[in-house]
Amino acid sequence: MEFITLNNGTKMPLEGFGVFQIPDASECEKVVYNALKTGYRLIDTAAAYMNEEAVGKTVARAIAEGIVTRDELFITTKVWVQDQKTEKTAYEAVKTSLSKLNLEYVNLILLHQPMGDYFAAYRGIERAYEEGLTRAIGVSNFYPAVLTNFCENVKTVPAVNQIELHPYFSQSDALENMKTYGIIPQAWGPLAEGKHGIFTDPEISAIGEKYGKSNAQVVLRWNTQRGVSVIPKSVKVERMEQNIDIWDFTLTDDEMAVINAKDLGHSEIVDHSNVGFVKALNGMNIH
């Protein structure tokens, strides 16, 4: 595993494990337990994933069984839009997440979306950071137009911005923008959530054949090689093992260029300028 140093000196594994769309508690416990046994040390959850309790329970079990220590773990959670109303609602949401996770601190707290009063909400997570409830704070889905103004007006520049990043939406402009502010980009949907035929794309397969790697491994490697942290999700142990086995090969500049050329320039998963989408997220009640 490689590590990256965040802008406040905190070390973060470059690869982690995402737990979106595993709301069933017993399945989530099984999956997180297997992920920790496989070697993942960064777990990415969120209040909105409705599985913080399952993650917390499994982390406690893995620590009790000597699989990991708390110091080795990097736990991320996110404040949902519903709580991005005031400094107080966001701060209280952090406390609720800590209680569900049964942890004294998390390693990273993100504002989940650039929605609601995100400046006020950020002050809430800044307070949590200053009180030691989290080792770092950041944002998610903050695209350049929003992020630039945000960075110019907050006390603590975000350590991480978690956005959709995969070969079909590679967002090199957003990466350049984050570099300006020393923000680490983290890829959600690093496997494009299985869209675009990513697992059978012949050009990616041809690259993989050279190294004896699957398409999933090639695209995860591509992102990490351009300095992007990745948090792939899989409920299957064999895929968890595959997705973390990406540190023993290096793509050439030409191979990186082949993958860069797949960019469509837009997402086919989310649309933050779509009224229906924004209304739906603003209306999503997680409490």
From residue 192 to residue 231, what is the string marking binding to ligand NDP with x (rule CB under 6 A)?
Answer: xxx----x--------------x-x--------------x
**Would you count residue 167 as binding ligand NDP (CB under 6 A)?**
no
Strands (E), the chain: 3-5, 11-13, 17-18, 42-44, 74-79, 108-111, 137-140, 160-164, 184-188, 229-230
Among 6, 12, 14, 19, binds ligand NDP (CB under 6 A): 19
Pick the catalytic residue: 33, 40, 49, 118? 49
Q: Which residues of 94-122 are buried (b: 16+ CB within 10 A; e: fewer)?
A: bebbbebbebebbbbbbbbbbbbebeebb
**Would you count residue 162 as binding ligand NDP (CB under 6 A)?**
yes
- Nearest partner of 256 among 204, 182, 185, judged by Cα: 204
Contact region with ligand NDP (CB under 6 A), list: 13-21, 57-65, 101-109, 260-268: 13-21
Q: Per-residue DSSP letters for 14-58?
A: SB-EE-TT---HHHHHHHHHHHHHHT--EEE--GGGT-HHHHHHH
**Would you count residue 58 as binding ligand NDP (CB under 6 A)?**
no
Contact region with ligand NDP (CB under 6 A), list: 131-139, 171-179, 237-245, 257-265: 237-245
- Cβ-based nearer residue to ligand NDP, 23 or 65: 23
Q: How far apart are CA 75 and CA 97, in angstroms?
A: 11
Task: Please identify the residue of the shown chain whose CB is closest to the bound ligand NDP.
Answer: 18
Total number of residues binding ligand NDP (CB under 6 A)? 27
- Cβ-based nearer residue to ligand NDP, 13 or 190: 190
- The helix/strand/coil state of 159 is coil
**Residue 211 bears catalytic tag:** no
Query: In sequence order, what are the residues at sequence separation of 6 or more whose Cβ sits closer than 8 angstroms to the Cβ of residue 99?
Result: none
The catalytic site residues sit at: 49
Residue ranges binding ligand NDP (CB under 6 A):
18-20, 44, 112, 140-141, 162, 188-194, 199, 214, 216, 231-236, 239, 242-243
